[in-house]
Chains A and B, each alone.
Chain A
Amino acid sequence: MTTVATFEIGYRRILDPDGTIDGAPPAFARDRNTLVALYRWMVLCRAFDAKAVALQRTGRLGTFASSLGQEAVGVGVADAMAADDVLLPSFREHGAQLVRGVTMKELLLYWGGDERGSDFAGPRHDFPVCIPVGTQAPHAAGVGLSFRLRGEARAAVCIFGDGATSRGDVYEAMNVAGAWTLPVVFIANNNQWAISVPRRAQTAAETLAQKAVAAGFDGCQVDGNDIIAVREATAAALERARSGGGPTLIEALTYRLGDHTTVDDASRYRDDDEVGRHWKMEPIARLRRHLVDAHGWTKAEEEALIADCAAQVEAAAEAYLATSPPAPASMFDHLYEELPAEVARQRAALLRED
């Protein structure tokens, strides 16, 4: 037997759980303002998550998928993106969407059951969240192809979970992105659990990152609770994509500290000890420690930031709750560009019910 192919998967962690920086950090990681900005987004995301869960528990929001513990993935990825890149998120990437400019009111509208929440005022070309797992990956390839055809130095960024890597759609998208050298960055947000199925039961592959190898491009792992590593790896992948180097798969290793959604009860399938261990690794405390130890982050600054985030979340929740439901006939408004006569009659019938 001759060896015809070999591969290696790299792993990168820069910010340790104890808040110290290991190895050679990228330039941005030495800049206090940049780190504080990243920290602020993560804290805001967590405050938003907590508010959304509270709204759901009190009957004022629909089923909601919390990103508790995974804030560094969404925030780090989106912060590395340029405004004209395109994000194709799964349903657990509130952090990424916030950084991209989607407002908390819009997010709450969506999760509160109102399509207007996906009509973002901010990133007009970003995709709405994708609920059928991994089915947005082929769209990312299509978006990447559009950039190639127009000769634009832009990239598509597709974030999906560990479970999605078992789907054919994700492989088909990665395969074509490799074959056509498309400017796509695939992010596997590996939170270890696809509802109740643990990562090890999902696939016998040693890493999810190596799935890129089969598609003919590079995959790597980063500590997904280390926002510096996430941002650095995404920035490098984006640079490669925009300069014609093709796709990358980044497996961000993190942990879903909460339930799958507000209708899930994770205590049915995983024990508290495991969750407790992962609380020690979570991304926000880690960056806070670093800010305190290396950048003199003060208690007053911390309190002000938390108060500011809480105020923003409260204001968004109030704005959401004050939004009247859409008019019933609006369900017909965007079915087609122009409503066919056939369906217009049904719209008229709905209006007659009032």
Chain B
Amino acid sequence: MARPHAKTDAVAATAELTLVEAVQRALARAMAEDETVVLLGEDIGVDGGVFRATDGLIARFGADRVRDTPLSESLIGGLPVGLAAMGFRPVAEIQFMGFIYPVIDQIVNHATRMRTRTRGRLSCPMVLRAPYGGGIHAPEHHSESMEALFAHIPGLRIVIPSSPAKAYGLLLAAIRDPDPVVFLEPKRVYRAAREAVVDDGGALPLDRCFTILKGSDVTLVSWGAMLQETLDASESLAGDGVDAEVIDVATLKPLDMDTILESVHRTGRCVIVHEAPLTGGFGAEIAARLAGEGLMHLVAPVERVAGWDTVMPLPRLEARYMPSVSRIVAAARRVLEYA
């Protein structure tokens, strides 16, 4: 079988894609360049996935490589471990983050340990994709942001794209990565906007934050869907003459703290924005690291703007749960006005 990492081919079309289309293109590209890439999940075949992330892939690559699994989430976590140990690169889809919890057993106990416990004899180059987050008026159990649960697991990578181009480049990198990756897709922005994506097989680097807006007054740190609100907040602040820097974390684990520290060294102020609940959220990790490694450069307390520590409300109240632009602006103001 062909090994991965076949470089880009000559056909490189640029298209204005939505995030979910970019995911589909990345999957298609990965499957075309590497026969060992196999997709697994519920309704990913003829139906093309409930969000259409695998649309058309069964027609192009066949039912052997685009496999509708039984409704068995624990299996969807475990099947890839067996496949990956035998040299495949499985990409498994969990339909909604609320159904991901049975998979955690396989991720903690097997996927992330296989390389360690066999001293590298067997490994687990699998990707687990799942849409996460609120804001699309979905039923109960469909809207949570639970990335922090995964951040505590050694040996794992957690990648969250914020835009179509990031989704394309980061997903290709995740599939080519030799270790397990949880790839969480912000479903609120699946179709929210289009962006030019060059479908040339080019990956974006993992383990790196992206500074998407340079600024000198305050550092705003976020990831996934919340980047939109964060950018909107920076625009609002700019109207008042505040020059905000915006960082897209992109890979939460392992965390590129250097980029965040470098930014905070310049701005002295930091606001972390995430949709997930406040307590034990990944923002706590970044804030702790700033306190430990960047304290002398901070001129104000680090603020976190997050979901409340409540059960994710049903759609009628979800807008009041999600961090809003005004909440982010208010936090930035407090940080800017401190001392």
Contact = CB atoms under 8 A, between A and B. Distances in A.
Interface of A: 86, 88, 115-116, 118-120, 124-125, 127-128, 132, 135-150, 156, 168-169, 172-173, 175-176, 179, 331, 333-338, 340-343
Given A125-B86, A146-B87, A341-B254, A173 B121 contact: no
Nearest to A344: B254
The 7 closest A-B pairs by CB, nearest first: A142-B82, A138-B78, A146-B86, A139-B82, A340-B254, A342-B254, A119-B119
A143 B81 CA distance: 8
Contacts of A145: 79, 82-83
A156 B86 CA distance: 11
B119 A334 contact: yes
Contacts of B86: 86, 125, 142-143, 146-147
Given A127-B85, A149-B88, A168 B70 contact: no
Interface stretch (B110-118, B141-149, B261-269, B327-335): B110-118
8 contacts: A116-B119, A118-B119, A125-B85, A132-B109, A142-B81, A146-B83, A168-B102, A175-B75
A179 B75 CA distance: 13
Given A138-B81, A142-B86, A143-B86, A119 B255 contact: no
Contact of B82 (A118, A124, A156): A156
Nearest to A330: B119
A137 B72 CA distance: 13
Report the contact-size class of chain B (Cβ under 8 Å from the partner): 35 or more
Contacts of A86: 86
Contacts of A340: 207, 254
B248 interface: no
Nearest to B79: A142
B77 interface: yes
B36 to A, nearest CB: 9
Interface of B: 1, 38, 64-65, 69-70, 72, 74-75, 77-88, 90, 102, 105-106, 109-110, 115-123, 154-155, 178-179, 207, 254-258
A306 B84 CA distance: 41
A86 B119 CA distance: 18
B106 A335 contact: no
B329 to A, nearest CB: 31
Contacts of A135: 78, 105-106, 109-110
A130 to B, nearest CB: 8
Contacts, number: 139
Nearest to B87: A146
B141 to A, nearest CB: 18
Given A138-B106, A337-B179, A342-B257, A176 B119 contact: no
Given A128-B118, A135-B109, A342 B79 contact: no
A158 to B, nearest CB: 10
A50 B217 CA distance: 70
A337 B115 contact: yes
A139 B119 contact: no
A128 B87 CA distance: 16
Chain A CB within 10 Å, residue with most, of B70, B80, B116, B257? B116
Contacts of B106: 135, 138
A120 B121 contact: yes
Chain B CB within 10 Å, residue with most, of A132, A148, A334, A335? A334
Contacts of A149: 38, 64-65, 88
B70 A119 contact: no
A169 B104 CA distance: 13
Contacts of A116: 119
A338 B120 CA distance: 11
Contacts of A88: 82
Nearest to B108: A132
A105 to B, nearest CB: 15
B118 A146 contact: no
B1 A176 contact: no
Nearest to A179: B70
A335 B120 CA distance: 9
A138 B70 contact: no
Contacts of B70: 172, 175-176, 179
Given A128-B118, A337-B179, A137 B109 contact: no
Given A340-B207, A341-B207, A146 B120 contact: no
A42 B255 CA distance: 51
Contacts of A331: 116
Contact of A142 (B64, B80, B120, B258): B80
